[in-house]
Chains A and B, each alone.
Chain A
């Protein structure tokens, strides 16, 4: 018996001429939590896909518990005791928890004997690992944290003793993430090996025993977590030294600065009756960044859609840069742009650009009617291309090639192109959603700097982000959204993760009972 649950030796994977993984060595100790960090595109997903049998390595060997393994598909991986929890859950929303767990692992033709056995087995697993769950609940109705628990149970039910989790905390509140880590620790105590893929270095430091760093498809370092630091890991990921930037303002916020966004009792009800926004009140002054925190899906997207004119609210009103907007009198996004109100959307691939367009065409999105881009009905392609090139240079978008298809750029470069397009117009009001989602550390720095520069230039910024670190670093004030409502507001000085986390789960009022 070897001390390694899993060993990779010299794994290389090419796509055409692109090398996604080059000569990767990795040894994961049995019964440990092993973190794998790396920037987007560093090759983490490819490596895990090889382990789970979606791809076959071109070169190199995989050893599981010391024995050479041939993994040609997920069935082989499952048989070898590998379980995978994907970033986007692979669950059938309309099935019960029990049905989801059994799905694909049925051993008999009739469902009944399968479920009977599964019920007993799940009870045992829940007991052993502290993974209690209502097995008859409909999966889609469970909170995200519990859905993830179903994924873990699915893997354990298939007798996985090597569990791979891909960015597991992206959709969780800090409290849910803590719960997940408790589960991972108890799995580890019972001898399960856990591989944790993440870009959040805090989690690596908190929960792992060992950590490996990927950069540009190569393993650049292996460390015992106790012998490294976040600073060192970050620098290993990026490949250069990083300076901690302090984004706090040099001069105090001008309390008399004009209010640029003034929202009163705003509501948005869907056709099915759900309240996406419910009685929202907020103000943002010029020269101020208001951070909107919350677990994804609690009304932040609706807030951006309404304020940018994409969707009309069903009740309430708001004044934005002097223009009053009401349900029956809404400026559309082009009028908003004319009012110097710009919007960096949350979902860059669906809203922010068109994947099939060239970068130049995407850099025109939203401004296609501007006079300087039109001449007698024709688009001035030369002007558009020149502008795109200068946007790319100004925001360090690589490669500087306006003719390349938007989809060919990495996520960070796409995001920089969109930010460049919107900031270039020097708006008075900027609505920003998830500016650094899926963006590399290097690009994050640049994006944060530019947003702070906009703030200093007197722009009113509404910043929606699920990254608490980001909001706490940039915002002057923070409001927290929960189920379409604003459930709490804190000034920057008073913000800490625990308080915000409780607010995100709407548990802060319960935790501190109101005195009568």
Chain B
């Protein structure tokens, strides 16, 4: 019997939980095959990876620090996606967000207290990221330039611009390496160790800082914005159908620009974690691919903040655990870890729906009697 499985509705928990978990297992299975091929015991490797990512509060700190970046970039991709825009420029927007933090701090960090400086830094990261997204958005809205092409190009432009600025303008005088001077500690995002110390919780020092809290707040705000405000309603309407948006008196151009600016601001917040929280100075290439991985995170998280947090955690585990794995087992190189991440992206992103027809068939057999009629009615 051939049935059109794509049209069979599945309960939410299968769509958002069972299928993604199956996808991850598929990816791990193929990763295991690769490991067998190079003579590594996959079970042992998996154990090492999980212990390396979650085993103690040192590794957990690193995992959550990576997670923070992925939440920001994942949300950025998701917001644009709800407006039917594919923002591939998270990388560049994060980079320019860092420029915003640096410009503000280099000018002000010696004059203002932390209570002002930290919010100003966050705002600067968001504003600069938004501004960098605004240009492709404007070009898409008013000139019809495809946002995928322009955002990719703006990643390159951002990279070149930052090299120029760091080598010629922002570099600390008398230094060889293209970095700005270190900011005054009043502009630093407090580390988790510092933040939790007053509560008697003693953590090992890791890059994990309060940006994680900012990221989680962003999740809530994005959820409220998209599903609980009229602007979010208009954004989703324009995303689903431009003619329907015009019918409803919504200006699709306005939606393109506001959605992309919001998206750019979220990507810019990567700089809050990286620059304000960890490096405390502007340096080259700090976005390190987080912007691109955000696409996979949003895909896997089905563009929903809860899904994005879970997907970010998974990628955090992969980053941190992968690094540990490469450290522990010499035959597993850094490139091998990237290949495993690639498999996860492949199965959870590009092939996300590959298993769905089989899941539907299983579901049709085991489903509670009468549930389909109820849904079809």
Contacts and interface: CB of A to CB of B under 8 A. Distances in A.
Contacts of B229: 377-379
A368 B241 contact: no
Contact of A351 (B2, B236, B244, B372): B244
A276 to B, nearest CB: 15
A379 B230 contact: yes
A332 B245 CA distance: 12
Contacts of B240: 354-357
Contacts of B209: none
Contacts of A333: 246-249
A58 B243 contact: no
B141 to A, nearest CB: 16
B233 interface: yes
B362 interface: no
A18 interface: yes
Contacts of A105: none
A60 B233 CA distance: 48
Given A58-B1, A379-B233, A17 B372 contact: yes
Interface in A356-372: 356-357, 361, 364-366, 368-369
B234 interface: yes
A412 interface: no
Interface string B216-255: 0000000010001111011011001101101111010000
B38 interface: no
A53 to B, nearest CB: 11
A17 B373 contact: yes
Contacts of A352: 244, 247
A27 to B, nearest CB: 26
Interface residues of B, number: 31
Nearest to B4: A15
Interface in B65-104: none
Interface string A334-355: 1111000001010100111111
A333 B252 CA distance: 13
B373 A351 contact: no
A191 interface: no
Nearest to A398: B377
A350 B230 contact: no
A462 B270 CA distance: 54
Nearest to B233: A368
Contacts of A58: 1
B373 A18 contact: yes
B246 A310 contact: yes
A399 interface: yes
Given A17-B372, A18-B372, A379 B247 contact: no
Nearest to B372: A17
Contact of B3 (A15, A354, A368, A379): A15
A15 B6 CA distance: 12
B350 interface: no
B253 to A, nearest CB: 12
Contacts of A379: 228-230, 233
Contacts of A336: 249
A45 interface: no
Interface string B305-327: 00000000000000000000000
Contacts of B247: 308, 310, 333, 343, 345, 351-352, 365-366
B34 interface: no
A334 B250 CA distance: 8
23 contacts: A15-B4, A15-B8, A16-B376, A17-B373, A56-B1, A332-B249, A332-B251, A334-B248, A334-B249, A335-B249, A337-B249, A351-B243, A352-B247, A354-B240, A354-B241, A357-B237, A365-B237, A368-B237, A368-B248, A373-B230, A374-B230, A377-B229, A377-B230
Given A333-B246, A345-B247, A354-B244, 8 more contacts: A18-B373, A55-B2, A56-B2, A333-B249, A352-B247, A353-B244, A357-B240, A399-B377
